[in-house]
Structure 1
Amino acid sequence: PRTQDTDRDTDAVVDVAAALRLSVTRLARQLRQQSDAGLTPTQLSALAAIERHGPLSPGALAEHERVAAPTVTRVTTYLAEQGLVDRMDDPDDRRAALLVVTRAGRDVLRRARTRKDAWLSARVARLDAEQVATLAAALDALEALTELDDEPPEAARR
């Protein structure tokens, strides 16, 4: 049986989640605008995923990025044309290809990250000491959110 306290707790979680979503969405949008890599957010994300998890098959990239196979084909074709990724034979399946980031691709990612880090560092530096400490304390919880599976808890399905 649900109690009034449980309802209040659930309401508080929903309120925090909504505020967090808005803040994270705005911050992510602002960070994307800082990359200046000449790539779309989807292209930059795919390039970073290949670097982080690669070599990757196109199917594995689609799974990591949660996009459809035709999107991966379009994105990786463009990245390859720009010299940012290479295709190599899959040693386990000669009919398949794996995607790897080139030196030029790593340079693009490094420049984008450096620019984003500088922008965000300047923003964080404008916060007061208590806000910086609160933000630092929240990092573990934010990271944990990114690692949770997609299965919602029982209470959220009601």
Structure 2
Amino acid sequence: MPTIERAVRSDAGLASELRLSVMRLRRRLATERHPDNELSLGAMAVLGCLHRCGDLTLGELAAHEMVQPPSMTRTVNCLVDGGYVVRRRHATDGRQVVVELTEQGRATVLADRARRDAWLARRLTDLTPEERAVLRKAAPILDRLAQKD
């Protein structure tokens, strides 16, 4: 079986190792969610998107989260029912609906983010300064890879 170092010498090997590592980290971070948080990861992603981007239409949210508009409508309906977001008419286009984060939604996303950030910060202390420097350089590159074409 090839070692990881040997496998990542090719672009295909690097792609495979990155995919696996990122998926494992994502799953691990998902387990660090606040125990009282019953929202799905998709619903939390919507709250996070609204927190980062501000109020968005359903179509904009669907595009940001790379889902179909009917799926986003279902997610937003659940978030409205839970009091995490509110809907309002678009200021200039009455046909569109804008989704806005409530204080409950903001508190939920911040608490969830703080818990997972704290876990990751603790794990980073186990790394050498050189390893943390590599991750500091890699973070914006990974973010760029994740952006929609």
- With normalisation by structure 2, the TM-score equals 0.86
Write the mapping of 1:104-143 to structure 2, written as runs, cut at 5 A: 104-143=104-143
C-alpha deviations, 1:96-126, integer Å up to 9, x for none? Answer: 2100001110000110010010010111111
Q: Which structure 2 residue ranges, 5 or more long, are not aligned?
A: 1-8
**Secondary structure in structure 2 of the residue aligned to 1:86:** strand
Deviating above 6 A after TM superposition, structure 1's stretches of 4 or more consecutive aligned residues are: none
**In 1, distance between residues paired with 2:60 and 2:140?**
27
What is the percentage of aligned positions where both structures have the same residue?
35
What's the offset of the Cα at 1:141?
2.1
What's the offset of the Cα at 1:19?
0.5
Equivalent residues of 1:84, 1:105 under 8 A apart: yes
RMSD over aligned Cα, in angstroms?
Answer: 1.5
The answer to whether 1:28 aligns with 2:26 is yes
Write the mapping of 1:7-156 to structure 2, written as runs, cut at 5 A: 12-36=10-34, 37-147=37-147, 149-150=148-149
Equivalent residues of 1:51, 1:100 under 8 A apart: no
Q: Which structure 1 residue ranges, 5 or more long, are not aligned?
A: 1-10, 151-158
Q: Which piece of structure 1 moves more, 86-95 or 128-137?
A: 128-137
Greater CA radius of gyration, 1 or 2?
A: 1
**Secondary structure in structure 2 of the residue aligned to 1:94:** coil
**In 2, distance between residues paired with 1:133 and 1:96?**
45
Q: How many positions carry a matched residue from both structures?
A: 139
**In 2, distance between residues paired with 1:79 and 1:122?**
31
Quick one: which amino acid aligns to residue 125 of structure 1? Answer: T
C-alpha deviations, 1:112-158, integer Å up to 9, x for none? Answer: 010010010111111223222222232232233234x53xxxxxxxx
